[in-house]
Amino acid sequence: MAISRLHLRPIQFVDTPIGLPDGSVARLAGGMQWFAAYEAIADGARRTVPVADFDRMFGADERATRLHRAITAPRPPLALGARTLRFDQPSVAGILNLTPDSFSEGGMRGDDPAAAATAGFDMTVAGAALIDVGGESTRPKAPLVWEGDEIKRVVPVIERLAGSGALISVDTRKGAVMEAALAAGAHIVNDVSALLWDERALGIVAAAGCPVVLMHSPDPARGPHGEAAYGNVLTDVFDWLEHRVAAAIAGGVDPGRIIVDPGIGFGKTLADNLALLNGLALFHGLGCPIMLGASRKRMIGALSNEAPVDQRLGGSIALALKGVEAGVQMLRVHDVAETAQAVRVWRGLKDQALVGG
């Protein structure tokens, strides 16, 4: 049966497939989660489709089949020099922002590359699999940073981190900064504009052969916090990212080296953000690993008596675990040690559940 713009969201997660009838559950993205049904969204309607009935109900539908394959296909690891970034289990990316108005303490070390790099080293010891280095704030109304100044901020820190063997992503939307950071030893480009702010960015990433994080925002050519009127924020963001993934592949980026980020807090209301977080599993239909950046976001303050940035740890952990439960592979966070500990405890519970205990 052909359905216009079908979307599939995995639901009815189960602790273990052990003891269940064959074909009654499916594994989510080759990870640690199993699910028994889809929420099928099409033409404004939603209905529940058991995994066991999928072939009977959707087997002849090309889009449904493609989404199902994308949702259940394992995400291959990324070999990055001597290090490997795995996506069969959740991991943590530590935020190291070298800007004066950063949410993170690294912002206080922007003029001291050695101290900033030490903060990054400490994150790896605390459990970060990746260090995300940024030299320009993406907070609302933050001033644009000249690319030369951004390069001066990030390159000395990246060089030091790369020398220690750390995996590094550079958080930038500027082609010149991407080039300088990759030359300094960064492994991944993390672009809040999904390669749309700088017309050179796509070519640079494709030529470098590096992985890239494509994040959603409503109008990235103008800035990350443009306003938007969503029909259905969950499917609208999915469709936008689906288009950007296709454009990146058409531009020469290896599909196995694309990571997606729904852009929590970027051009979205509190209700929009909550809907995206509740529907995160839908984004596995893009066939890419998912990065979630919800750490210390304003929505936490909005839900907790306007708690200031330095008092949002509990909410940040809650959102991180919400992402892990939805199968998100990478958590971009400020509080590495606390988040890594939470993920380890979740992992212990999941390991025990998977063996039937």
Q: Give me the pLDDT at residue 219, please.
A: 87
CA atoms of 291 and 192, how far apart (whole Å): 12
* Domain presence at residue 211: yes
Do both 28 and 85 map to the same domain? no
Do both 310 and 260 map to the same domain? yes
CA atoms of 173 and 155, how far apart (whole Å): 15
CA atoms of 289 and 287, how far apart (whole Å): 7
* Domain presence at residue 2: no
Quick: pLDDT tens for 137-192.
Answer: 877 667 788 899 999 999 999 999 999 999 999 999 999 999 999 999 999 999 99
CA atoms of 323 and 277, how far apart (whole Å): 7
Indicate if the pLDDT at residue 315 is higher than 70.
yes
* Domain presence at residue 1: no
Do both 108 and 237 map to the same domain? yes
- Provide DSSP, 155-170: HHHHHHHHHTT--EEE
- How many residues can be counted in the chain? 357
Share of the chain above pLDDT 70, in %: 95
Do both 152 and 174 map to the same domain? yes
- Classify burial at 79, counting beta carbons within 10 Å of its beta carbon; exposed 0-12, middle 13-18, buried 19 or more: exposed
Last residue of a domain, one of 46, 72, 98: 72
Do both 132 and 207 map to the same domain? yes
CB atoms inside a 10 Å sphere around CB 128? 27
* Domain presence at residue 185: yes
Pairing, β 330-333 against β 291-292? parallel
Do both 278 and 343 map to the same domain? yes
Q: Could you tell me the pLDDT band of residue 2, with boundaries at 50, 70 and 90?
A: very low
CATH of the domain at 264: 3.20.20.20
Q: Residue 205 in contact with residue 212, Cβ under 8 Å?
A: yes
CA atoms of 105 and 87, how far apart (whole Å): 28
How high does pLDDT run on average in the chain?
A: 93
Q: Is 44 helix (H, G, I), strand (E, B) or coil?
A: coil
* Domain presence at residue 322: yes
CA atoms of 210 and 353, how far apart (whole Å): 36
Q: Give me the pLDDT at residue 224, please.
A: 72
Structure tokens at 278: 């509740």
Q: Give me the pLDDT at residue 229, please.
A: 85
Do both 136 and 21 map to the same domain? no
CA atoms of 224 and 245, how far apart (whole Å): 18
- Positions annotated as catalytic residues are 297, 332
CA atoms of 57 and 228, how far apart (whole Å): 35
* Domain presence at residue 215: yes
CA atoms of 352 and 357, how far apart (whole Å): 5
Do both 68 and 82 map to the same domain? no
Do both 304 and 190 map to the same domain? yes
As a whole number, mean pLDDT of residues 203-228 equals: 90
Q: For the chain, what is the domain count?
A: 2
CA atoms of 316 and 297, how far apart (whole Å): 8
Do both 112 and 220 map to the same domain? yes
Do both 188 and 53 map to the same domain? no
Indicate if the pLDDT at residue 109 is higher than 60.
no
Range of the domain at 133: 78-354
pTM, full prediction = 0.95
Do both 129 and 221 map to the same domain? yes
Last residue of a domain, one of 22, 51, 72: 72
Q: Could you tell me the pLDDT band of residue 355, with boundaries at 50, 70 and 90?
A: confident
* Domain presence at residue 124: yes
Q: Is 290 helix (H, G, I), strand (E, B) or coil?
A: strand
* Domain presence at residue 39: yes
The phi-psi region of residue 296 (left if phi > 0; otherwise alpha if psi is between -120 and 50; otherwise beta) is: left
Indicate if the pLDDT at residue 322 is higher than 70.
yes
